[in-house]
Amino acid sequence: MTTSSSLTAPRYSRILGTGSYLPEQRLTNAELAAQLARDGVETSDEWIVERTGIRARHFAAPDQTSSDLALPAARAALQAAGVAAEEIDLIIVATSTPDMVFPSTACLLQQKLGVAGCAAFDVQAVCSGFVYGLTVADAMIKSGAASKALVIGAETFSRILDFKDRTTCVLFGDGAGAVVLGASETPGILASQLHADGRHVDILCTPGTVSGGQVLGHPLLKMDGQAVFKLAVGVLEKVARAVLEKAGRTDADIDWLIPHQANIRIMQGTAKKLKLPLEKLVVTVDQHGNTSAASIPLALDVAVRSGQIKKGETVMLEGVGGGFTWGAVLLDL
C-alpha cells in the first residue's frame, strides 16, 4: 500500500562510481617543444610550466575518436558503481570535439556499450560541459525522468589545435572522465548553478563550420588568454559562493575543490578567494593539460581512486569555458 509520506518523499541523486581514460600517447613539454621546433615554433618546458603548471599531456591516436575515449571511462565508472550498462536510462556526453556532426557522441557511445532505448544526447558548453551535464542529469533524476545516469566528459582537442600558435597548442590534451549518477533517498548533489554570457564568444572559440563539404571560417582554436584569465577567476568565485549559499554551506564545509584544470594560476587564485588552503585543491593539470569537458571528471576519478578523496567528503566542482560559460556543483561523495 502506498502512503502519502512515500508519495511526497524527496528524491535526490548521488555519484555511485567514477572512471577515466587517457590515450596511450603521452607528451612531456620537452617532447612537444622538440616537435614544435621542427616547424619553427619555439617554446620550452620552463616557459610552459611557469605560465600554466602543465608538464605533460596525452594525445589520442589518429584513429581514436571522443566516443572511443569515453567508452573505457564509462566502463570503469560502471564497474566502480556496480551497475550494468543495461541499467543506465540516461547518457549525457559533454564534448566540444564530437565524432561527427551527427548523430551525437552519446548515441555512438550507447551503441559501443551495447545498449539501446535510453535517452542519449550531447551537451556543448566547452570546459564547463561536465558541470552542465551533471546538473541536467541531477534534475532529470530528481524529477523521476531517470534513475541511473552516465555522465561523461570526453575530448580530442588535439584535433583542433593550431600547432603554430605556442600560446594555445601547449595547453590542451585529450581524455575522458565519467560518473554514474543514481537516485538516492539522501542528498549527494547538494546544489548547482549554471551561467553563460555570449558577449564574450570571441575570447575562446573555434569559429569554423562545415558547409557544402568544405570548412568555412577558422577550424582551429583561438584564445585571448589574458581576457579568459580575468573573467575566469571572478566568475568562479561568485558561482562557488552562490552554490554554497544555495546548499546552506560555507567555505569551511568544502573538503576538496576540483576546478576545471586549465591553468594552475587560475586554480590557485580561485582557492585563495574561497579561503581554502592549497592542500584542498585537486590538481591534475600538470599531467593532463587542459582536457576541456573531461578535466573535472578526470581529476575526480584520479583523486577518488588514489584515496585522496574519501566517501562522505564534500567536493566543489567548478568549470569555466568558451561561450562564455561557467558553473559549479557542490556534492557529498
Instruction: Find the catalytic residue in 107, 118, 127, 169.
Output: 127
DSSP readout, 167-210? HHHTTB-EEEEEEEEEEESS-SEEEEEEEE-GGGGGGEE---EE
DSSP character for 262?
S
Give burial (CB, 10 Å; 0-12/13-18/19+) of 219. Answer: middle
Instruction: Find the catalytic residue in 29, 260, 263, 288.
Output: 260
Distance CA 331, CA 312 (A): 9
Query: Residue-wise over 168-183: b if at least 16 C-beta within 10 A, else e?
Result: bbbbbbbbbbbbbbbb
Q: How many CA atoms lie within 13 A of 259 on its CB side?
A: 29
290 is catalytic: yes
Could you list the active site residues? 127, 260, 290
